[in-house]
Amino acid sequence: MEWVGVIAHHGYAVTAIVMFLAAVGLPLPMSITLLAAGAASLHGLRLEIVLPVAWAAAVAGDTLLYFGGRYTGWWLLAGMCRISMNPEQCIFSSAGYFYRRGPKTLLFAKFIPGLGPLAAPLAGSLNMRFRRFLRLDAAGVALYCCLWTIAGFIFSPFLQEIANWIERAGHTLLVIVIVLGLGYVLGIAVFTLRARRYRKIERIPAASLRERLQALTPDKVVIIADVRSHGYYDAGCSASRTRFG
């Protein structure tokens, strides 16, 4: 199992880097890394060191994103969701977890695909107090790290079998990965085609609208409407509904 060998040799550093980068949103395999770290503890890596290292790296990454969400609002979330097939649904379905289950979402966020990297910046953008975030996030990350690392430790012989099978499967797996990749591209294409029905909606640059408003005649009625969803208002001022004419 090559990944176990890498972890066994460069153990703590690799685990810390992968956990930190995955926590800040990069698509890296947190659970597989922890499984490998657990398995590698039978080959020289010390569990009592790798667990706190993994935990600290993940919490550090989450804290960075928490402050990112706190000070950039939903801008950061939009950026992180950009690679998703449906970016808007990505943000709102993740936010839905917080609306339904409150701050305790942080305890299990890492276990839910897609929600893990978004939970911390969401907590920041929804103004969760930092100490409360830290407490809940630390507990959730600890649970996540312990479960996967201990699973790797216990099931190490089986992991070796799985690794051998993966090595034998070789080309078949490559085909599966390619098919999944094509599926993703197809999904993007379908969403793009569905969005074409909105092409008829005229978009006007803000500067052009201002010029148009300045040339208005008194008999004309113009409404500028704020349709931001969830009642969310950006920090600071907002354009109100304005009626001219």
In the bound state with other proteins, the residue whose beta carbon lies nearer, of 13 and 224, is 224
Of the residues 204, 214, 215, 218, which one makes contact with other proteins according to CB under 8 A: 204
230 in contact with other proteins (CB under 8 A): yes
Count residues near other proteins (CB under 8 A): 47
In the bound state with other proteins, the residue whose beta carbon lies nearer, of 71 and 232, is 232
| 161, burial (CB in 10 Å: exposed 0-12, middle 13-18, buried 19+) | exposed
184 in contact with other proteins (CB under 8 A): no
Residues composing the chain: 245
Q: Which amino acid, residue 49?
A: I
Of the residues 6, 103, 108, 111, which one makes contact with other proteins according to CB under 8 A: 103
CB 101 within 8 A of CB 88: no
Residues numbered 123-152 forming contacts with other proteins, rule: CB under 8 A: 123, 126-129, 132
3-state secondary structure of 122: helix
In the complex, what is the shortest distance from the CB of residue 223 to other proteins, in angstroms, rounded to a whole number? Answer: 5
In the bound state with other proteins, the residue whose beta carbon lies nearer, of 9 and 129, is 129
Give 242's DSSP letter. E
CB 7 within 8 A of CB 14: yes
In the complex, what is the shortest distance from the CB of residue 86 to other proteins, in angstroms, rounded to a whole number? Answer: 10
